[in-house]
A and B are shown apart, each in its own frame.
Chain A
Amino acid sequence: SKKKMVVPGAGEHPLQYNYTFWYSRRTPGRPASTQSYEQNIKQIGSFASVEQFWRFYSHMIRPGDLTGHSDFHLFKEGIKPMWEDDANKMGGKWIIRLRKGLASRCWENLILAMLGEQFMVGEEICGAVVSVRFQEDIISIWNKTASDQATTARIRDTLRRVLNLPPNTIMEYKTHTDSIKYWRTLAP
């Protein structure tokens, strides 16, 4: 990318990685092709420090207040929130389905854990997504190597700890290659 990477301001607390916020919204019921998915996703902005993160986040709508079929994505700078990105194509994600009312708190806890490097899995984390839907909301965290079971187990255990979820919450791991196969059956 030709774009200049953001840097922490004077006296600010640097993050281990720079991140970019994205937003997407689509008409429900219609499976998005890769192209229209890329057209629907908008960059909000990038940050390099804790303070810069709060400047974005404090002005963003809470996921629980979004309507319709919307997603916030927070990915490391340079990684597109798409299965096809080089950082994601061998990867997968942990998915947690949430009943309505929990998304804002869970999303905040999830991204604070990611920005603060709480997962302890080296370079493996790619980003996180909150998806607002009609019946339920979904949060997910994406990592680079779906086949690395030690990493995916560690991510799962950290999620349980930082999200403080009810014990009966179901967590599901999905590889992106499976997600691509599934969408191809819907949108040939």
Chain B
Amino acid sequence: GTRIIYDRKFLLGCRSSPVAK
């Protein structure tokens, strides 16, 4: 199956996204 891969930059970007609050 497909693996869900995220790089560091993407993960850090999710930190401040509205959905994370």
Give Cα distance in the complex from A14 to B11, angstroms: 11
Interface of A is mostly: mixed
Interface range on chain A (Cβ under 8 Å from partner)? 20 to 34
Do residues B15 and A118 form an inter-chain contact, with CB atoms below 8 A?
Answer: no
Do residues A58 and B15 form an inter-chain contact, with CB atoms below 8 A?
Answer: yes
Give Cα distance in the complex from A82 to B20, angstroms: 31
Q: Counting CB contacts under 8 A, is A33 at the interface?
A: no
Give Cα distance in the complex from A117 to B12, angstroms: 15
Known: A13-B6, A117-B3, A117-B5. A112 touches B19 (CB 8 A): no
Those of B3-19 within 8 Å (CB) of chain A: 3-8, 10-12, 14-15, 17, 19
Which residues of B lie under 8 Å from residue A162 when comparing CB positions?
8
Which residues of B lie under 8 Å from residue A54 when comparing CB positions?
14-15, 20
Do residues A109 and B3 form an inter-chain contact, with CB atoms below 8 A?
Answer: no
Q: Can you name the residue of chain A whose Cβ is closest to the Cβ of B8?
A: A112
Most central of B3, B5, B10, B19 by chain A CB within 10 Å: B19
Known: A112-B11, A116-B11. A16 touches B19 (CB 8 A): no
Can you offer 18 A-B residue contacts whose CB atoms are under 8 A? A11-B19, A12-B19, A13-B6, A13-B14, A16-B4, A50-B6, A50-B11, A51-B14, A51-B17, A51-B20, A55-B20, A58-B15, A113-B8, A115-B6, A116-B6, A116-B10, A117-B3, A117-B4
Tell me the A residues contacting B by CB distance below 8 Å. 9, 11-16, 50-51, 54-55, 58, 109, 112-113, 115-118, 162
Tell me the B residues contacting A by CB distance below 8 Å. 3-8, 10-12, 14-15, 17, 19-20
